[in-house]
Structure 1
């Protein structure tokens, strides 16, 4: 049970990171105005913002690593 929850959590983080990368590279972002429920729209926005945070943190971590270089 815990393994399945961890797997789903990691999948959600990776999907959010991919959506953040798509937003950064192309400017395309999900239209949250289509969500009628204000609370769900708010949580969806927080989820997408978490993807931005994840992308920034991963970039900073990998940028400080000796195994990766910036070009």
Structure 2
């Protein structure tokens, strides 16, 4: 059970990171105004913001690694 929850958690983080990367590279982002429920809209916004911070921290970590170089 814990393994399944961990797998779902990792999948959610990766999806959020991919959506943040799409937003950064193309400017396209989900239209959260279409969500009528304000609580779901709020948590969706938090989820997408988490993807942004995940993308930033991953970039900083990989940028400080000796195995990656910036161009």
TM-score (norm 2): 1.00
| TM-score normalised by L of structure 1 | 1.00
1:63 Cα deviation (Å)? Answer: 0.1
Q: How many matched pairs?
A: 71
Matched, 1:64 2:64: yes
Q: Could you say what the CA RMSD is over the residues aligned between the two structures, in angstroms?
A: 0.2
> Which of structure 1's runs of 4+ aligned residues deviate more than 3 A?
none
Question: Which blocks of at least 5 consecutive residues in structure 1 are unaligned?
Answer: none
Partner of 2:6: 6
- Distance in 1 separating the partners of 2:35 and 2:3: 31
Instruction: Tell me the residue number matched to 1:19.
Output: 19
